[in-house]
Structure 1
């Protein structure tokens, strides 16, 4: 399967100053390019590391609305996205997706409002998105609106989901992958990033590098805490 986006190139020569945001992000200092898995790629890192900034830039460079939705969505409630997308070149594959969606947790409410305003709620399930819980509306979107053979860019989709729902999402993502979809995700969830054979990039002060699942901080901290919760709690809570 050829990727819809094979790789990303950073046009460093156009940057006037690496002291201004978003170019002051540490990993951008040595960043030139990265390859994307034709199926699933994850971006992980601490809060403020810039993983969502990179994901957003890829989405906007592809033509998605900065606040989320499909390419047909053109609403704007507050312009908070960076202009990093102007400095990226997306190296596309020979095939074109038949579907696509940019989902970001922090502005999903605005997307749901736009869906209702446009009168296209039927494509997102029987129940209106605003009439469901946050987690239920997320799953309704992914289940009904994501049609396959598409490019799906997801920013922290686990934000509204319980662990069991994250497992359901993982299963749904696998269905989409088997239907010729490419998925790019920024996440903190060790459940989601366990997807088999996915590529995981970690962003941080040491740069941007591809790592194995077991080497992510998310996996190691979760594993160690579940093995010895009393030890962790004693260190954290005792004076």
Structure 2
């Protein structure tokens, strides 16, 4: 494990009565993070929740706190630390293992990590394809799913700190399975992965820790107990039980 816990030091927090106490500090999962911190217990961690639950806000802040660009990209990229951080990313800190501390303090060119953010991935991939330290393939000539897998296969190779925000956005069933295999191998190799997802396929990665995010804040759960999995099971068993509510007048 590289990161054992993410937390916000009390001295960095604005007063709850000040006008600086605003989004995202009032999002339930962020509020809980501020109060309790979030521990990481396994090499692969999934944050699962509805749109607007705050899981992407958490992953984005984790990336910034580790020294990655919130817009995506690899560790050690030049000038990344010159850009303004998000409010949560500015305050967030990590408790690390000795290995994690060495990983973060190493020379810029030797740091291993990547933040894959679906919202900005395509523009970023087109900008860096062929550049030193990335990949030689022309992702602009590929389908979206193929380009995502190219990034994963080239950037997610060695033990490092990897963050993904909804990587399933362009992936088919088979491509999701390829990503599951990759994340499992990485976790076994000594890497650490934190992934925000809506995909029950990705969340089924063997040995992964699952944290469900919602109005309650966040809590650890199992794949079988995820609301997401329950909905998909019910829908696949009887689609009309769901569809009639949105198609009938």
* TM-score normalised per structure 1: 0.88
Confirm or deny that 1:157 pairs with 2:167.
Answer: yes
Kept in 1, the 8 Å contact 2:30–2:58? The answer is no
Partner-residue secondary structure (3-state), 1:15: coil
Structure 2: tracts of 5 or more residues without a match? 104-110
Alpha-carbon distance in 1 for matches of 2:193, 2:57: 17
Confirm or deny that 1:223 pairs with 2:233.
Answer: yes
For residue 108 of structure 2, what is the aligned residue in structure 1? none
Alpha-carbon distance in 2 for matches of 1:80, 1:217: 36
**Aligned partner of 2:8 among 10, 17, 25:** 10
Confirm or deny that 1:55 pairs with 2:34.
Answer: no
Moved over 6 A (4+): none
Confirm or deny that 1:25 pairs with 2:38.
Answer: no
1:19-43 Cα distance to aligned partner (Å, 9 max, x none)? 5111111233343211113311011
Kept in 2, the 8 Å contact 1:6–1:38? The answer is no
Kept in 2, the 8 Å contact 1:75–1:114? The answer is no
Alpha-carbon distance in 1 for matches of 2:31, 2:43: 28
What is the number of residues matched between the two proteins? 232
Change (3 A) 1:74 1:113: farther
* TM-score normalised per structure 2: 0.85
Structure 1: tracts of 5 or more residues without a match? none
Alpha-carbon distance in 2 for matches of 1:68, 1:15: 27
For residue 106 of structure 2, what is the aligned residue in structure 1? none
**Aligned partner of 2:218 among 208, 211, 215:** 208
Alpha-carbon distance in 1 for matches of 2:213, 2:23: 16
Kept in 2, the 8 Å contact 1:65–1:74? The answer is no
1:166-197 Cα distance to aligned partner (Å, 9 max, x none)? 11111111222222211100000000001122
1:23-73 Cα distance to aligned partner (Å, 9 max, x none)? 111233343211113311011111111111110101101000121111233
Change (3 A) 1:50 1:12: farther
Partner-residue secondary structure (3-state), 1:103: strand
